[in-house]
Amino acid sequence: MNATQATPESQPLQASRRRVMLDAFGIAVSGVGFGLFYGLAARQAGLSVVAVAVKKAIAFGGGAQFAALGYIAVGAPWASIVLVTAFINSRHLLYSAALSPFTAGLRLRTRVLMAFVLTDEAFALGISHFRRIGRVDMVGYWIGAVAGDYIPWVAASIVGAALAGSIADPAVFGLDVIFPAAMAGLAVGLVTGRRDLVAALTGAVVGVAIGLLFEPVAGIVAGGIIGPIVGLLVPESKGEPRPEVMVP
């Protein structure tokens, strides 16, 4: 829709899409930095450029793939690599469940593709966008998930593998702080009431506590499960979004 056709109803949608684009740009810059670094690390672990390309393209993800490189480099059995990947990526079950109330009216094919690119960053950008406009919007989702995350990561990983040996550590440029900063900033954007705030704070505290006791990924999953339970115990504040608003 162009500017002359814009209706009052479309203005929040366009504004939210612009915000997704801006937010995705910051995440894409970080993705390029770490994609380059990942490509370099993958070559050092023994992967060819083709293997890096295939791995990133079909098993798209960040944390699990870095962990897998470590296992590959030391010659760990495949079963352990696959098991670790499944465990690390189990948190995506939470993302998918949280998005599902918005996506019920979408075609199956769309939801199948949506799941393929569902990562931490895609979830963060997508859920923020859907909650701002109160419904699903696939254009906004693809902007965040594909343009802001998938393409930069995959392309930079391939370039990184091809240029192995001449890539600077992204931490030198402060890019390592972008991931936690982006996740924290997007969490702040989702806080619209007391329950959200309590769920976020509980998620952070539980995540770190369980992560230190057991394993960081266990902490993320525990924080994502326990935070909302504690949030539900708190009386809702005025103006808090009702669940039915989420359903398209």
* Site for another protein, residues 178 to 217, rule: CB under 8 A: 178-191, 195-197, 199-208, 211-212, 214-216
Positions in 114-133 near another protein (CB under 8 A): 114-116, 118, 120, 123-124, 127-128, 131
Distance of CA 40 to the CA centre of its chain: 22
Q: Which of 11, 44, 46, 237 binds another protein (CB under 8 A)?
A: 46
Q: Which of 6, 139, 162, 232 binds another protein (CB under 8 A)?
A: 232
Nearest distance from C-beta of residue 146 to another protein, angstroms: 14
Nearest distance from C-beta of residue 190 to another protein, angstroms: 4
Say whether residue 35 binds another protein (CB under 8 A): no
Residue 55, CA distances (Å) to 40, 207, 235 in order: 14, 29, 46
Say whether residue 93 binds another protein (CB under 8 A): yes
As a whole number of angstroms, the distance between CA 160 and CA 176 comes to 17
Q: Which is nearer to another protein, 159 or 178 (CB)?
A: 178
Nearest distance from C-beta of residue 7 to another protein, angstroms: 24
Nearest distance from C-beta of residue 165 to another protein, angstroms: 18
Question: With CB under 8 A, what is the number of residues at the site for another protein?
Answer: 111
Q: Which of 1, 3, 58, 74 binds another protein (CB under 8 A)?
A: 58
Of 121, 139, 119, the residue nearest 130 (C-alpha): 139
* Helix segments in the chain, DSSP class H: 10-44, 49-58, 63-73, 78-88, 92-103, 108-116, 120-133, 138-142, 151-162, 178-190, 194-213, 216-232, 243-246
Q: Which is nearer to another protein, 7 or 78 (CB)?
A: 78
* Residue with token string 């504004």: 15
Q: Which of 78, 165, 166, 235 binds another protein (CB under 8 A)?
A: 78
Nearest distance from C-beta of residue 5 to another protein, angstroms: 27
Q: Which of 31, 85, 157, 161 binds another protein (CB under 8 A)?
A: 85
Q: Which amino acid is at 8?
A: P
CB-neighbour burial class of residue 231 (10 A; exposed 0-12, middle 13-18, buried 19+): buried
The radius of gyration of the chain from alpha carbons, rounded to an integer in Å, stands at 19
Structure tokens at 160: 């990184």
Q: Which is nearer to another protein, 151 or 201 (CB)?
A: 201
Residue 210 · residue 223 · CB < 8 Å = yes
